[in-house]
Amino acid sequence: MKSLEDIMAMAQNVQAELTKAQANLDTIEVEGASGGGLVKVKATAKGRIIGVTIDESLLSPSEKGMVEDLVAAALNDARAKADAASNEAMSKMTSGIPLPPGFKLPF
């Protein structure tokens, strides 16, 4: 059985690696889209929105409701992709860490 000092050192190493991995999530970019690409949202895997692109064909007052729906759909798509990228990155990082079965990290 490992000593308490060994366990504490391992926990500190895990904490440092998780902090580093979380910081790295802000460098991974994803793009959500809706309306066949008429509305696009770029975000980081951490969920920060970087940009929104709306096709000019949608920029008329009569299209206001549709544009709002497409922006919401693109944001949701970007968020889902950001979550998937985050989960994948964290899964790669934690694959070598001996965590108890069923243990979920707070991300």
CATH number, residue 47: 3.30.1310.10
What percent of the chain shows pLDDT beyond 90? 47
Q: Which residue has the higher pLDDT, 1 or 71?
A: 71
pTM: 0.67
Decide if 21 is inside a domain.
Answer: no
Query: Is residue 16 in some structural domain?
Result: no
Distances (CA, A) of 17 to 8, 51, 68, 107: 14, 29, 40, 14
Q: Which domain holds residue 82?
A: 27-94
H-type alpha helices, 1-107: 4-25, 64-94
Cα–Cα separations (whole angstroms), residue 7 to 13, 53, 81: 10, 49, 35
In a domain, 55, yes or no: yes
Average pLDDT over residues 83-104: 72
Count: domains in the chain: 1
**Is 50 contained in some domain?**
yes
What's the pLDDT at 107? 44
Task: List, in order, residues 6 or more apart from 84 with CB less than 8 Å away.
Answer: 30
Q: Is 31 helix (H, G, I), strand (E, B) or coil?
A: strand
